[in-house]
């Protein structure tokens, strides 16, 4: 069923029953051509692109809980492609371009709001680092502009513009095509579109083991809803990647951490862009509902608890007030955490695993949301063809042996 | 006017002898001291208080507590404007001024209410299905303006906040009967007890009923030394029983506040055991137009009558879906509120099929099972649908929930780790049993004995909420976010059936009230629609905070100058006296330069650099990181740490070293000097001291555990005064330094201990400028003395003070790398000219194995080179990219440092360039923001390649 | 915010400490293959459950020590010095 204003009008006249389910809740079949483990954004996008790009529709997406219930629904919803290295730039730019057409592609409004992302320069050293960054982005064919202090002030007037500030604002740099999207809508849009192409989304279906053939290759999974066979299996489980890898008998260069985010009570519009202050770690945007969405760095110890430490909450809010002092009287309304899969170079891993027929998409760390379309696209490619997608070639497990890391954070001195 | 003040003795919380003037939406009103804004508005007959989030429907006061979804106001103005304050919790104070949120131009005539006409096409999630054409950006600004609630202040908060940490044996959250009883029992058993009362009165719902039992318990608790914190709400339980609570200290919105008040206090309480006693919320009944001003939770009405002497209406229709609700009728009547009718909903015999009055209840139509209807004239509809225990803290602490079917409520399923629930929030509603259990719990926790299970009785028969069939009018489940039963039905139809999907798709429970009165009803309705019991739909894990808390209160004093405080040089005042231009470098406030009147930073730096090359200059290098490394294995250890062999140093010799991490990346550099056979002096970079020390300690304590080495950080013990320039020694000599330090007697890269007027000096001959240089380390508090002593002789030498900027000019002229500027977290030693050093060193060192991987052997790796702009006038922009063609194309490198060289008379730059060592003499193109420059690749250093100036 | 017991200073709030990840990793010699070196540097069990990890009391005595901690509940199961043999703790898989 096509979503449109007309459909809403029809719905208004004939009631809820005129709508059809966004996706089915099917029973598992005994066998699929491809199984994707994890019905977050990446897993659902993988299934969608398997069907759409490769004509593989006999696909199941297995989800321990509810679709979109993991990090997809627990992040600060930023999309951007402001990367230094050509490998990352190509990957994330491809993703951003898919985002730009996703609402119509999926017939589901993901509310992509390209309101721009401003990084604040708090020192002359920051200005130099941002000059490198912006110029590198231009080299990579991506929009980037350096901003003067006055331009930053005009874009976000509530910033602490005092020259006496502990972190004075000397300027910044922006990617105007960056912004936010509605996180749930991305998961739901992919789920609905994949379901319409015949993909079975199996919720409350926890993977408890892998079945193997004589050569060690995977032939299927044991789940809480019984065994399911598959020709190829893809893992897209973010913070739980290591748990699945262990079930399959290998380890990953991944550590799981809690990444906190929080929102204030909603207010009328007060911030029209996304602001990131690398010096303080504050990461602020305002949702369409009016909540200030605040993110920052990881909790500093490995964790599978979706909670987050209060010490870090205090740090995040202190950083936020350092750049937005007028937010002091806003009230914190909700705080939560996602479990993110952090690798040494903060870049993803998309490709084969040591286990035949088993493929993985993980390692997005704190930045998985923006990578959903390309993560799905490239995992679908390797699942369908057995070969890594050209965009994903630099992002293989092998780089941890050759030392060819793609360490954006280290190069930029800023956590991605 | 339906709401009105009742006669005494009603009004336990108000002082009728003190009237308070306040204003609401620009109109003046009067109330009594002790009133909340809500009670005072009701007393004044005000019913229309706010507008809802989506449909801008008129809303009144719905509750008497933290669960309030509708009566939100913005308090105050300017920097003290506080948005979205719940009128039910806001005490009125003289001069209080507040306005309704989310309405324009006003709450009576709100243009946003036009949304109500389109409500049918705006069901749950409508925005996912439309606004796709031409583009979301086309609609977003208007939708953002319609959304949001209050208006955020635009100026920095003038008030301040503080934080208190506290430790206790037993923390009791909630000062109702159960909380008081457990606190007293625990204190009697000898425990240190802390008790939090969310309001200004102990006793909870019994407090305003004038209950003697709670008054006695409160007296006893105080006598036993229980620490009672009033107006303090626990909002979060974190790891290992850290409970965070917010205490309201100053009244919001008072007219006569001083310029800065202590507004709120954050309590971080580490408790051995936590007892949750937060009671329960009333669960509303679902019926058409149940959001009209005049519809209210039944127990709230009783509280207004008893505590504040306010009748919210004259004639009430009581919808009692619970035993407890039914029992309210005589109590309300006794207060003077006429009960027009009681609809006993426990068997769903009579339903409300319509509410009359758009901006305030004027009546309701009741419908019997046979379809017959009866119109009831009333100005108040009281909703008593049962209770929802406040299981928030239990859930936050990791506790599970179970469903009590008869009472349609979730209660704690056993205790949570470290947290036990008592009273109504445990599902114990029988007063005597709840009190006994609370006492048993307090006593057992104080004595370390097993805690008795709660007498979970539920609250009698309370059938679950049901939507009324065959009626028009929205039946609201979540008032703030305008989620109606039809939206739940839509979510069910579209398969958003799990609790997470339900919440997110419909936005139930996502408002500032966090669904305290809506979540359970939403689950129940979804369960009915999908033939499941509520627990099968699921419950979400409750997240902190339990109630919204000010950002400022969480931050406390970590603001302004106390947010990551800056470090100042020990001789800061001396630099002020020299006219220093200070800048922040990392955590330090340091002189960037000492500009003369009218001189720019760049010009000052060039002048200072020129002076260092021609006479002498003085730099305060005190922030430089300093470690002393002692022990029989100190030499062997430093060999492991640095690229550069330290064990071969003779006593008094010094050597440059690069510090790598195990991945081979350059993380710091520095100079290591040998003080004795088993004793070394290590200079790190200013920014690198903490990571160097941490790395040293980690390797020593965790890997080389048999090494006998001690590392002592001495950065703040020693100041550093650096004197550089051809006349450096002449200057020192004039200031009375020992002739043993003369260049002829002391070689470059050696260290000597010396004294001057008894002050110990540790003098290192080293140079970051390429000139004769002395780095004089001395006790930190003596640095100003030494600077003054040297300065008194400066005029004769022609010496100047120089800042960081001149230092940068000087070191770039010499091609010396600066960690973090020319290197980043991907730089290997072979990238910065240390390929030969790696080959020479025979012993193992940290990171070495990583350098020989494929990535380390790649001939296309970037290497540090010098660049000279072809036009000999343009300072190449730092960060500019090197490539044959303008962008977009593949980059070959970038400019890392760039200055105009006063010594050479033209600009110079350092760059990282792919295969750079092989490209000396090439001309490259440098691109910066659409402009392009030619530059020549040159060998380093730019200046004095033979190093002849090092000896003056 | 966790409460960790420094073996030297006693129980202190988590923010006095820094965690450096998995402990008891055996450092191979320089002769190993690139693959083995890579596994030493980067590959971790990352258990959902008991994790043996290394902490430093940064804003305190500066000492490193080992902790066995559940990564789901954050319960601390054992604290022991770097040179002590690892004590057995409940819930640790093979």
Cβ contacts (< 8 Å) between C39 and chain A: which residues? 251
Per-residue model confidence as pLDDT tens digits over B411-441: 999 999 999 999 999 999 999 999 999 999 9
Choose the closest CB to C45 out of A251, A311, A343. A251
- Please give the sequence-ordered ranges of beta strands (E in DSSP) within B338-468, or none if there are none: 338-344, 351-356, 363-367, 373-377, 380-384, 387-389, 400-404, 409-413, 419-421
Helix (H), strand (E), coil (C) string for B852-877: CCHHHHCCCCEEEEEEEECCCCCCCC
Nearest CA-CA partner of B939 in B865, B869, B833: B865
Cβ contact, residue pair A243, C48, below 8 Å: yes
Choose the closest CB to A22 out of B82, B495, B856. B495
* Integer Cα distance of B558 and B161 in angstroms: 10
The reported pLDDT for the residue numbered C94 is 55
Cβ contact, residue pair C1, B240, below 8 Å: yes
Choose the closest CB to B698 out of C20, C34, C37. C20
Range scoring the smallest mean pLDDT among A220-224, B208-212, B637-641, B779-783? B208-212
Our CA-based measurement puts residue C42 at a distance from the nearest CA of chain A, in whole angstroms, of: 5
ipTM (interface pTM): 0.97
**Residue B589: which residues within 8 A CB-CB, separation 6 or more?**
B566, B567, B568, B569, B572, B582, B583
What residues are paired with A70 via a beta bridge? Answer: none
Our CA-based measurement puts residue A234 at a distance from the nearest CA of chain B, in whole angstroms, of: 25
**Residue B639: which residues within 8 A CB-CB, separation 6 or more?**
B645, B646, B647, B843, B845
* Integer Cα distance of B284 and B244 in angstroms: 29
Cβ contacts (< 8 Å) between A240 and chain C: which residues? 48
The interface residues of chain A toward chain B in range 292-331, judged by CB-CB distance below 8 A, are 306-307, 309-310, 313-315, 317-322, 325-331
CATH class of B159-280+388-462+544-564: alpha beta
Residue that has been written with the tokens 């939406």 in this structure: B25
The rounded percent of chain B whose pLDDT value lies above 70 is 100
Asked if residues B380 and B314 have their Cβ atoms less than 8 Å apart, the reply is yes
Q: What is the CATH number of domain B625-713?
A: 3.30.70.1400
State chain B's mean pLDDT as an integer: 95
Our CA-based measurement puts residue C51 at a distance from the nearest CA of chain A, in whole angstroms, of: 8
The reported pLDDT for the residue numbered B121 is 87
What residues are paired with B622 via a beta bridge? Answer: none
Cβ contact, residue pair C62, B850, below 8 Å: no
* Integer Cα distance of B794 and B799 in angstroms: 5
Residue that has been written with the tokens 């009103």 in this structure: B29
Cβ contact, residue pair C14, B844, below 8 Å: no
B733 upstream amide cis, omega within 30 of 0: no
Our CA-based measurement puts residue A304 at a distance from the nearest CA of chain C, in whole angstroms, of: 5
C14 touching chain A per CB within 8 A:
yes
Choose the closest CB to B551 out of A113, A166, A320. A320
Structure confidence at residue B597 as a pLDDT band (50, 70, 90): very high
The reported pLDDT for the residue numbered A17 is 82
* Per-domain boundaries in chain B: 159-280+388-462+544-564, 474-530, 605-623+717-811, 625-713, 859-952
Q: How many A/C residue pairs have CB atoms within 8 Å?
A: 76
Mean pLDDT over A260-287 rounds to: 96
Helix (H), strand (E), coil (C) string for B102-166: CCCECCCCEHHHHHHHHHHHCCCCHHHHCCCCCCHHHCHHHHHHHCCCECCCCCCCCCEEEEEEE
Mean pLDDT over C49-56 rounds to: 97
User: Dmax over Cα atoms in chain B, in whole Å?
Assistant: 115
A243 touching chain C per CB within 8 A:
yes
Q: Which H or E element spans position A248? A: helix A241-248
- Whether residue B496 has pLDDT greater than 60: yes
| Chain C residue whose CA is closest to B661 | C41
Range scoring the smallest mean pLDDT among A317-321, A383-387, B229-233, B830-834? B830-834
Per-residue model confidence as pLDDT tens digits over B7-21: 988 999 999 999 999
* Integer Cα distance of B498 and B492 in angstroms: 9
* Integer Cα distance of B638 and B643 in angstroms: 9
Per-residue model confidence as pLDDT tens digits over B96-138: 999 999 888 888 888 888 888 888 888 999 999 999 888 899 9
Mean pLDDT over B239-252 rounds to: 96
B885 touching chain A per CB within 8 A:
no
Domain B859-952 has CATH 3.30.930.10: no
Q: Which domains does chain C have, with CATH numbers?
A: 3-81 (3.30.2270.10)
B545 upstream amide cis, omega within 30 of 0: yes
The reported pLDDT for the residue numbered B534 is 85
C56 touching chain B per CB within 8 A:
yes
What residues are paired with B652 via a beta bridge? Answer: none
Residues carrying CATH 3.30.9.10, chain A:
117-176+256-342
Our CA-based measurement puts residue A1 at a distance from the nearest CA of chain B, in whole angstroms, of: 11
State chain A's mean pLDDT as an integer: 95
- Whether residue B1 has pLDDT greater than 70: no
C14 touching chain B per CB within 8 A:
yes
Cβ contact, residue pair A334, B566, below 8 Å: no
Our CA-based measurement puts residue B94 at a distance from the nearest CA of chain C, in whole angstroms, of: 40
Range scoring the smallest mean pLDDT among B235-249, B349-363, B927-941? B349-363
- Whether residue A414 has pLDDT greater than 60: no
- Whether residue A296 has pLDDT greater than 80: no
C48 touching chain A per CB within 8 A:
yes
* Integer Cα distance of A67 and A79 in angstroms: 21
- Whether residue B533 has pLDDT greater than 90: no
- Please give the sequence-ordered ranges of beta strands (E in DSSP) within A150-281, or none if there are none: 171-175, 179-180, 200-202, 207-212, 218-223, 226-235, 255-264, 274-277
C72 touching chain B per CB within 8 A:
no
Choose the closest CB to B239 out of C23, C58, C74. C74
What residues are paired with B232 via a beta bridge? Answer: B247
Nearest CA-CA partner of A347 in A249, A416, A270: A416
Our CA-based measurement puts residue B825 at a distance from the nearest CA of chain A, in whole angstroms, of: 4
CATH class of B605-623+717-811: alpha beta
Burial label for B435, CB within 10 Å (0-12, 13-18, 19+), is: buried
- Alpha carbon separation from A343 to A40, A261, B547, B887 (Å, rounded): 19, 20, 36, 31
* Integer Cα distance of A256 and A238 in angstroms: 9
Domain A30-108+182-254+345-412 has CATH 3.20.20.70: no
Cβ contact, residue pair B512, A411, below 8 Å: no
* Integer Cα distance of A278 and A172 in angstroms: 10
Asked if residues C39 and C18 have their Cβ atoms less than 8 Å apart, the reply is no
Cβ contacts (< 8 Å) between B844 and chain C: which residues? 30
Our CA-based measurement puts residue C89 at a distance from the nearest CA of chain A, in whole angstroms, of: 18
Cβ contacts (< 8 Å) between A252 and chain C: which residues? 43-44, 46
B112 touching chain A per CB within 8 A:
no
C32 touching chain A per CB within 8 A:
no
For the domain with range B474-530, which CATH number is right: 2.40.360, 1.20.1300, 1.10.3470, 1.10.10?
Answer: 1.10.10
Cβ contact, residue pair C47, A242, below 8 Å: yes
B561 upstream amide cis, omega within 30 of 0: no
Asked if residues B402 and B24 have their Cβ atoms less than 8 Å apart, the reply is no
Residue B647 tokens read as 């064990």
B123 touching chain A per CB within 8 A:
yes
Residue B787 φ then ψ, to 5°: -60, -45
- Whether residue A416 has pLDDT greater than 50: no
B91: DSSP letter: B
Asked if residues B331 and B27 have their Cβ atoms less than 8 Å apart, the reply is no
Structure confidence at residue A415 as a pLDDT band (50, 70, 90): very low
What residues are paired with B721 via a beta bridge? Answer: B620, B776
Q: How many A/B residue pairs have CB atoms within 8 Å?
A: 323
The reported pLDDT for the residue numbered B505 is 97
Report helix, strand and coil shares of chain C as percent, to nearest 5: 15, 35, 50
Listing DSSP states for C60-76 in one string gives: TT--EEEEEEETTT--E
Structure confidence at residue A413 as a pLDDT band (50, 70, 90): low
Choose the closest CB to C73 out of B398, B848, B853. B398
Residue B294 tokens read as 């005049």
- Alpha carbon separation from B363 to B178, B318, B352 (Å, rounded): 39, 12, 10
Q: How many CA atoms lie within 13 A of B570 on its CB side?
A: 23
CATH architecture of residue range(s) A117-176+256-342: 2-Layer Sandwich (3.30)
Cβ contact, residue pair C43, A246, below 8 Å: no
Cβ contacts (< 8 Å) between B554 and chain A: which residues? 313-314, 317, 332
Q: How many CA atoms lie within 13 A of A354 on its CB side?
A: 11
Mean pLDDT over B467-472 rounds to: 90
For an interface test with A, which of C19, C32, C46 has the most A Cβ atoms less than 10 Å from its Cβ? Answer: C46
């Amino acid at each position: 069923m096509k979503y449109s204003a007309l459909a809403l009008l029809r719905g208004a006249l004939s009631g809820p029953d005129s709508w059809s389910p966004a996706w089915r809740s099917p029973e598992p079949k005994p066998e699929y051509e491809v199984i994707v483990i994890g019905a977050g954004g990446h897993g659902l996008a993988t299934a969608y692109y398997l069907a759409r790009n490769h004509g593989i529709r006999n696909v199941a997406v297995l989800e321990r809980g509810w679709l979109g219930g993991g990090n997809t629904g627990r992040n600060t919803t930023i999309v951007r492609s402001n990367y230094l290295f050509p490998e990352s730039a190509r990957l994330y730019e491809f993703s951003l371009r898919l985002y730009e057409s996703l609402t119509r592609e999926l017939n589901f409004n993901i509310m992509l709001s390209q309101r721009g992302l401003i990084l604040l320069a708090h020192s002359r050293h920051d200005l130099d680092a941002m000059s490198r960054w912006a110029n590198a982005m231009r080299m990579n064919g991506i929009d980037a502009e350096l901003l003067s202090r006055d331009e930053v002030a005009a874009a976000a007037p509530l910033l602490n513009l005092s020259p006496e500030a502990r972190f004075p604002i000397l300027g910044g740099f922006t990617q105007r095509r960056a912004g936010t999207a509605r996180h749930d809508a991305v998961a739901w849009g992919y789920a609905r579109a994949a379901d319409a192409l015949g993909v079975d989304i199996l919720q409350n279906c926890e993977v408890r083991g892998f079945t193997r053939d004589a050569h060690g290759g995977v032939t299927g999974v044991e789940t809480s809803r019984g065994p399911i066979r598959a020709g190829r299996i893809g893992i897209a489980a973010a913070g739980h990647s290591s748990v699945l890898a262990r079930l399959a008998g290998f380890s990953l260069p991944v550590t799981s951490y809690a990444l906190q985010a929080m929102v204030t009570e909603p207010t009328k519009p007060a911030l029209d862009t996304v602001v990131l202050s690398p010096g303080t770690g504050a990461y602020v945007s305002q949702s369409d509902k009016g909540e200030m969405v605040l993110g920052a760095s990881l909790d500093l110890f490995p964790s599978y608890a979706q909670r987050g430490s209060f010490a870090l909450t205090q740090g995040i809010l202190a950083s936020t007030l350092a750049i937005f002092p007028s937010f002091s009287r806003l009230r914190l309304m909700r705080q939560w955490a996602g479990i993110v899969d952090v690798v040494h170079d903060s870049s993803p891993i998309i490709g084969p695993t040591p286990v035949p027929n088993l493929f993985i998409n993980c390692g997005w760390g704190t930045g998985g949301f923006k990578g959903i379309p390309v993560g799905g696209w490239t995992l679908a490619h390797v699942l369908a063809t057995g070969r890594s997608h050209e965009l994903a070639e630099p992002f293989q497990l092998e780089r941890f042996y050759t030392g060819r890391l793609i360490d954006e954070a280290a190069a930029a001195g800023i956590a991605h | 006017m339906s709401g009105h003040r009742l006669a005494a003795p009603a009004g336990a919380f108000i002082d009728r002898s003190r009237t308070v003037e306040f204003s609401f939406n620009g109109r003046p009103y009067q109330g009594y001291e002790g009133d909340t804004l809500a009670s005072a508005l009701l007393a004044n007959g005000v019913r229309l208080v706010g507008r809802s989030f989506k449909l801008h429907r008129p809303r009144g006061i719905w509750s008497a507590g933290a669960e309030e979804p509708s009566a939100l106001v913005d308090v105050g103005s300017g920097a003290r404007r506080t948005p979205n304050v719940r009128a039910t919790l806001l005490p009125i104070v003289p001069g209080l001024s507040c306005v309704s949120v989310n309405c324009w131009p006003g709450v009576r005539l709100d243009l946003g209410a036009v949304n109500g006409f389109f409500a049918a096409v705006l069901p749950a999630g409508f925005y996912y299905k439309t606004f796709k054409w031409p583009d979301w950006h086309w609609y977003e600004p208007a939708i953002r303006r319609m959304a949001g609630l209050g208006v955020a202040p635009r100026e920095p908060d003038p008030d301040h906040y503080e934080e208190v940490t506290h430790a206790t044996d037993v923390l009791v959250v909630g000062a109702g009967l159960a909380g008081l009883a457990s606190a007293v029992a625990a204190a009697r058993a000898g425990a240190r007890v802390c008790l939090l009362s969310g309001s200004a009165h102990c006793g909870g719902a019994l407090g305003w009923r004038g209950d003697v039992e709670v008054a006695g318990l409160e007296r006893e608790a105080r006598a036993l030394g229980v620490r009672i914190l009033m107006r303090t709400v626990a909002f979060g339980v974190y790891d290992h029983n850290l409970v965070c609570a917010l205490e309201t200290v100053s009244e919001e919105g008072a007219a006569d506040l001083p310029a800065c008040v202590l507004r709120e206090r954050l309590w971080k309480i580490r408790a051995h055991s936590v007892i949750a006693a937060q009671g329960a919320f009333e669960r509303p009944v679902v019926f058409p137009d149940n959001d009209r001003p005049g519809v209210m939770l039944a127990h709230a009405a009783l509280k207004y009558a008893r505590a504040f002497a306010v009748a919210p209406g004259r004639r009430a229709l009581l919808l009692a879906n619970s035993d407890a609700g039914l029992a309210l009728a005589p109590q309300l009547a006794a207060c003077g509120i006429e009960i027009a009718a009681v609809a006993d909903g426990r068997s769903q015999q009579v339903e409300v099929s319509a509410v009359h009055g758009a901006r305030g209840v004027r009546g309701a139509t009741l419908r019997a099972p046979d379809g017959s209807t009866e119109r009831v004239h009333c100005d108040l509809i009281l909703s008593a649908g049962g209770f929802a225990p406040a299981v928030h803290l239990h859930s936050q602490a990791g506790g599970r929930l179970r469903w009590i079917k008869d009472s349609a409520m979730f209660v704690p399923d056993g205790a949570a780790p470290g947290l036990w629930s008592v009273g109504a929030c445990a599902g114990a509603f029988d007063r005597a049993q709840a009190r006994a259990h609370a006492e048993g719990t307090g006593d057992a926790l104080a004595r370390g004995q097993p805690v008795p299970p709660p007498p979970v009785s539920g609250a009698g028969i309370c059938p679950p909420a049901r939507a009324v069939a065959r009626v028009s009018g929205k039946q609201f489940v979540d008032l703030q976010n305008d989620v109606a039963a039809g939206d739940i039905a839509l979510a069910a139809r579209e398969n958003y059936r799990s609790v997470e999907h339900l919440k997110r798709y419909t936005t139930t429970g996502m408002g500032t009230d966090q669904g305290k009165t809506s979540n359970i009803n939403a689950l129940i309705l979804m369960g009915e629609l999908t033939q499941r019991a509520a627990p099968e739909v699921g419950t979400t894990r409750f997240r902190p905070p339990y109630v919204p808390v000010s950002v400022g209160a969480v931050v406390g004093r970590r603001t302004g100058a106390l947010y990551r405080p800056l470090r100042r040089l020990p001789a800061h005042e001396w630099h002020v006296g020299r006219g220093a231009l200070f800048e922040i470098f990392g955590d330090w406030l340091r002189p960037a330069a000492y500009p003369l009147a009218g001189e720019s930073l760049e010009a000052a730096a060039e002048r200072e650099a020129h002076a260092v090359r021609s006479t002498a200059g003085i730099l305060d290098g005190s922030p430089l990181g300093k470690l002393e490394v002692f022990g029989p294995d100190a030499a062997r250890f430093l060999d492991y740490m640095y690229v550069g062999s330290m064990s071969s140093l003779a006593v008094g010799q010094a050597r440059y070293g690069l510090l790598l991490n195990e991945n081979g990346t350059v993380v710091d550099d520095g100079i290591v000097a040998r003080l004795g056979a088993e004793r070394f002096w290590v200079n790190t970079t200013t920014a690198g001291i903490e990571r160097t020390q941490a790395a040293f300690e980690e390797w020593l304590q965790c890997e080389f555990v048999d090494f006998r080495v001690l590392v002592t950080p001495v950065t703040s013990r020693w100041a550093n005064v650096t004197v550089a320039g051809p006349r450096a020694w002449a200057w020192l000599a004039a200031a009375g330094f020992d002739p043993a330090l003369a260049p002829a007697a002391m070689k470059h890269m050696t260290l000597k201990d010396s004294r001057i007027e008894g002050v110990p000096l540790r003098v290192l001959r080293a140079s970051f400028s390429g000139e004769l240089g002395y780095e004089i380390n001395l006790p930190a508090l003596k640095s100003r003395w030494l600077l003054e002593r040297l300065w008194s002789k400066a005029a004769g030498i022609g010496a100047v003070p120089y800042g960081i900027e001149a230092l940068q000019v000087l070191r770039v002229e010499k091609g010396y790398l600066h960690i973090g500027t020319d290197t980043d977290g991907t730089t290997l030693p072979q990238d910065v000219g240390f390929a030969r050093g790696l080959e020479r060193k025979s012993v193992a060192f940290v990171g070495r194995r990583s350098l020989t991987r494929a990535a380390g052997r790649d001939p296309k790796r970037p290497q540090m080179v010098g660049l000279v702009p072809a036009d000999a006038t343009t300072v190449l922009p730092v960060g500019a990219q090197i490539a044959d063609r303008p962008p977009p194309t593949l980059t070959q490198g970038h400019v890392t440092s760039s200055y105009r060289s006063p010594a050479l008379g033209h600009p110079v730059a350092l760059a990282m360039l792919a295969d750079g060592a092989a490209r000396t003499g090439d001309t490259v193109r440098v691109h910066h923001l659409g402009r392009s420059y030619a530059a020549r690749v040159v060998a380093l250093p730019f200046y004095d390649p033979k190093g002849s100036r090092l000896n003056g | 915010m966790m409460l960790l017991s420094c073996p030297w200073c006693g129980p202190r709030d988590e923010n006095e400490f820094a965690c450096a990840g998995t402990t008891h990793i055996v450092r191979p010699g320089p002769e190993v293959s690139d693959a083995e070196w890579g596994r030493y540097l980067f590959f971790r069990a990352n258990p959902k459950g008991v994790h043996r990890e290394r902490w430093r009391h940064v804003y305190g005595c500066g000492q490193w020590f080992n902790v066995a901690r559940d990564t789901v509940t954050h319960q601390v199961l054992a604290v022991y010095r770097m040179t002590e043999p690892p004590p057995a703790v409940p819930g640790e898989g093979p």
